[in-house]
Chains A and B, each alone.
Chain A
C-alpha cells in the first residue's frame, strides 16, 4: 500500500473530497423552485398572492405563460417544476367575499421537490387567507383556495419515480465498472503485450471493448423495465421505442467513462476504486436522491458533468411524463458530447506501447 500511491491517495482523498462535496451539496430543503405563472386575472389580488409565493423563497417566478398549453410545455420540458394558474375571475370572486381558486401544478416526477412545493403552497394559501381575514371579516370561506395538482404521479407512489432512476444507476454502475476493467485487465494479465504487436488499431480495440457491453446494457434495461412494470406497476407513458433509442447515448457515455478509467488505471484494483469515485457523485448529485435545485451553484454545475443527470431527465421524462425527443434534445446532445469526448480521450490516451 505504501508503494501504491494511487490507492493511498484515493483512500484519503475519497472521504475528504466526497465529504466536503456532499456535505455542501446535499440539501433536502429545496428553495428557488423554477415556477411558471399563468395569471389570467392580472389583478391586485393575484399579484398579492404571487408576491407571497415569491417572498417565501421557495418559488422563483421564472416564466410568465399566456396559455395553458404553455404551462404544460414548461412543466413537460422540466423548465418549470411548478405552475401557478389564476382564473380570469379570481379578483371578482374575492371581491364578492368568496373563495378564489388558485391552481398549483406540481411536477411530481421528482418527489422531493413536489412534496415540498405542495406543502409550502398550501401553507402560503392558509397564511395569506388569515392575513386577509384579519382585515375584513366578510368572507364565507378562506379567501385563497389553493388547489394543488401533483402531475405525473398524482398518488405520490415512490416506486414510480424511483424505479426508472434506479434503472439508470444500475446501468451506469455496471457499464462503468465492467469496461473499466477492460484494458487494464489485459495489461495486468500480459495479453496486451501480445495484442500490441498485432496490426490492431487503438480505436478498433476501444470499440471492440465497448460494443458487447451495449448489448449487455440493453439486456439489463429490458430486465429492469420488466421488473418495474410487472412488479411495481410503473406506467410507461411515453414511447418505449424512443426510450430504447435515447438510452443508447447514455450507455455509450457510461462505457466511454469506463474505458477512459481503464486506460488511466494501472491495475484492476485502481480501476475499481476510480469507478467507485465517479459512481458516488452519480448517485448523490444527479438528482437521483436529492433535488439538484437545492444544490449550491458550484455543485449544481458539477452535476451537469454527470451523464446520469441527463439520463434521469430522459427516463423520468419518457416513463412518467410521457414526453418525447423534442423535449429531450438538450439531454441527448449532452450525452452524445460525453460519449464522443470520453471515447476520443480513451483512444488518444491508449498508446500501442507498454512503456
Chain B
C-alpha cells in the first residue's frame, strides 16, 4: 500500500527524516512510534504529499479491488495532528464541505455521514459548531471527515494525543472496525500501549526507523530480561547506576529493572541494598517485556 525508498527531508541543518524505507502492507494497522521530534509527522506529511521530500520517494499503490472506481485522490484519508477543520461550521457542515471537495454527491455524503456519526457517537452533536466540541469529539469529527471519502488508506497523526483514556479506547475500537472492513491504517502515537494494538510497528528515532516488525516479534527480539523487584524503600534511584542494570524505573511500590544477566544483576542489587543499610529481602520475579521496554531499549541503543 505504502512504500518509501530512502526517504529524507531536512529543515535547514536539522535532518527530520533520514533514509527511511518502510513498507506498509495492505490491510495493516501500521504504528509509528518514537519520541517527540523523531520525525513521525514529517514522514507522514511526505507520505500524504504535503511535504516534498529532499531525497528518495514515496510509492502509493491501490491494490485492493474496487479502489480504481473511486475518484482520484480519495484513496488516501489524512487526519493531521492539529485539528484542521472549520470551527465556525457545524459538524455536519464540515462533513458536507469535505465531501463536496471530493465531488461526492450530497445524498451519498448524508448517507455515509449518518453511518459514520453513529459509529463515532457524534450523531447527537450533528448541528453543533466544531469549535464547541470537546477535544476528543473534535478528533472524532476529524476522523469522520477523513472517512467520508471511504479511503482505502487512512493516515492518522497522533489522533489520540491529549484525550482521555476512555476516548482513546473508543477511538481504537473504531480503527479496528475500519481495519476489519479492509482499510489500511497508518497511525503515529506517543503511547506504547497503543503500539501494542498495531499489526506492525516502526520505531523512529532521530529521523530514522530503527526497527519495524510486529509487536510480538519486536518483544521476542528484546535483547534483555525484565525483572519486577519489590524493596521497602522510597529511593527511586536506588539501582540506577549499577553496571549490571540496563534500566531501572520506580513505580512507587516496585522497580521495573531491565537487565542482561539475571543472576549477576540480582547479586549486584542485593549488595546495593546491604550497602545502603536496607533491611529485608529482595523479592524479584521475571516478567515479559512490554513495548515500552522495547522502545526504551531501542532508543538507548541508538545513543550508544
A contact residues vs B (CB 8 Å cutoff): 189-200, 352-355
Of the A-B pairs whose beta carbons lie under 8 Å apart in the complex, a sample of 8, sorted by A's number, is A193-B80, A193-B84, A194-B80, A199-B73, A200-B101, A353-B49, A354-B45, A355-B51
- In the bound complex, what is the Cα–Cα distance between A192 and B71 (angstroms)? 21
Picked from A189, A190, A198, A354, the residue with its CB within 8 Å of the CB of B101 is A198
B71 touches A190 (CB 8 A): no
Asked if residues A190 and B73 are in contact (CB atoms below 8 Å), the reply is no
Q: In the complex the two chains form, is B102's CB within 8 Å of A353's CB?
A: no
Measured in the bound complex, the distance between the Cα atoms of B71 and A191 in whole Å is 22
Which chain B residues numbered 22 to 68 have a C-beta less than 8 Å away from chain A? 45, 48-52
Which residues of A lie under 8 Å from residue B78 when comparing CB positions?
Answer: 194, 197
Query: How many residues of chain B have a CB within 8 Å of chain A?
Result: 26
A354 to B72 alpha-carbon distance, docked (Å): 21
Within B63-111, the residues touching A (CB, 8 Å) are 71-74, 76, 78, 80, 82-87, 98, 101-103
| B218: chain A residues within 8 A (beta carbon) | none
Chain B CB within 10 A, most for which of A190, A194, A352: A194
- In addition to A192-B84, A352-B49, 4 A-B residue pairs with Cβ atoms within 8 Å of each other are A194-B80, A195-B84, A197-B50, A199-B73
Picked from B52, B82, B101, the residue with its CB within 8 Å of the CB of A199 is B101
A191:B86 contact, CB within 8 angstroms: yes
Contacts A198-B73, A354-B45; A193 near B102 (Cβ below 8 A)? no
A208 to chain B, nearest CB (A): 10
Q: Which residues of A contact B48 (CB under 8 A)?
A: 197
Nearest residue, chain B, Cβ from A199: B73
Distance in angstroms between the alpha carbons of A191 and B85 in the assembled complex: 5
Q: Complex Cα distance A75/B127, Å?
A: 60
Tell me if B82 and A190 are in contact (CB < 8 A).
yes
| Contact of B72 with A199 in the complex, beta carbons under 8 Å | yes
Nearest A residue to B151 via CB reads A197
Distance in angstroms between the alpha carbons of A296 and B4 in the assembled complex = 60
Asked whether any CB of chain A lies closer than 8 Å to the CB of B145, the reply is yes
Answer yes or no: B11 CB below 8 A from chain A CBs. Answer: yes
A190 and B102 contact, Cβ closer than 8 Å, known pairs A197-B50, A353-B50, A355-B11:
no
Instruction: Tell me, rounded to whole Å, the shortest Cβ–Cβ distance linking B21 to chain A.
Output: 21
Residue of B nearest to A196 (CB): B50
Determine the distance from Cα of A200 to Cα of B52 in the docked complex, in whole angstroms. 18
In contact, A193 and B101 (Cβ under 8 angstroms): no
Contact B86–A353 (Cβ < 8 Å):
no
Closest Cβ neighbor of A205 among chain B residues: B101
Q: Would A354 and B51 count as touching, CB distance under 8 A?
A: yes
**Nearest B-chain residue to A200, judged by Cβ:** B101
- In the complex, A194→B87 CA distance in Å? 13
**Complex interface: chain A residues within 8 A of B74 (CB):** 199
A192-B102 Cα distance, complex, nearest whole Å? 16
Task: Report the bound CA distance from A46 to B217 in whole Å.
Answer: 107
Q: Complex Cα distance A355/B12, Å?
A: 12
Contact of B49 among A189, A194, A195, A197 (CB under 8 A): A197
